[in-house]
Amino acid sequence: MLPHIVKKRIPYLLVIVLIVGCNPFDSDRVTNFESELTEIIDFMEEYGNAVLDADEDDRFAAEMRSMGIHYIVKNQTRNRDFSGFIEESDSLIIFIRKSQNLFQPERRIIYDFATNPRNFGNDKILNASYEIEQLTSRWYFSTTGFD
C-alpha cells in the first residue's frame, strides 16, 4: 500500500503531467497543434509588426494560455527589437513560451509566412545557448537559454 502522503499527491502529479503534456512547446508536438496555431496565424495576417501578450490581449488570451504561449510576435518587416538569430528576420510569426527559471530555456515556435519559404535549416550555437530545428518547410522550433 502507498503511504497516505503519496496518495494525497497523486492527483497533483496527474494534473502536472496533463498540463505539461498539453502544449505545443516541444519539437515533436508542434505539428499536433498546427491547426490551432494556423488559426492564430490567419488572424495575424491583417497586422504588420505586432506583439500579442497573453496577459494583455483578450483576442486569443484563452487559447494562448491553454497552449502555454506567453507572446506572439509577428515580423512583417525586419524587426531588430526582437532578439534572436533568425527571429529578427521578416515574414515570421513567433510563438514564445518564456523561461520560468534559469535552468529552463525559452522555447519558440516559428512560422515562416514568406511567399517562398526560406530554408533556415538546423543550427546549434553553443556559445549563445541557441538551437533551432526545422520541422517542415515553414515550421521551426528553437530554444534560447541564458549565456
The pLDDT tens digits of the residues spanning 49-98 come to: 888 888 887 777 888 888 888 988 888 777 666 655 566 677 888 898 88
State if pTM tops 0.85: no
Give me the residue spans of the domains in the chain: 4-144
Q: List phi, psi (to 5°) of 72.
A: -125, 125
CA dihedral 96, 100, 103, 109 (to 10 degrees): -10
Percent of the chain with pLDDT over 70: 71
Grid coordinates 508536438 are at which residue? 29
- Residue type at position 124: K
The 10s digit of each residue's pLDDT in 84-110 is 556 667 788 889 888 888 778 888 888
Question: DSSP code of 78?
Answer: -
Beta-carbon contacts of residue 95 (< 8 Å; ≥ 6 apart) = 24, 37, 40, 67, 69, 71, 72, 108, 109, 110, 111
Residue by residue, DSSP assigns 83-125 as -SSSTTSSSEEEEEE--SSTTS-EEEEEEE-SSS------EEE
How would you classify the pairing of strands 139-144 and 106-112? antiparallel
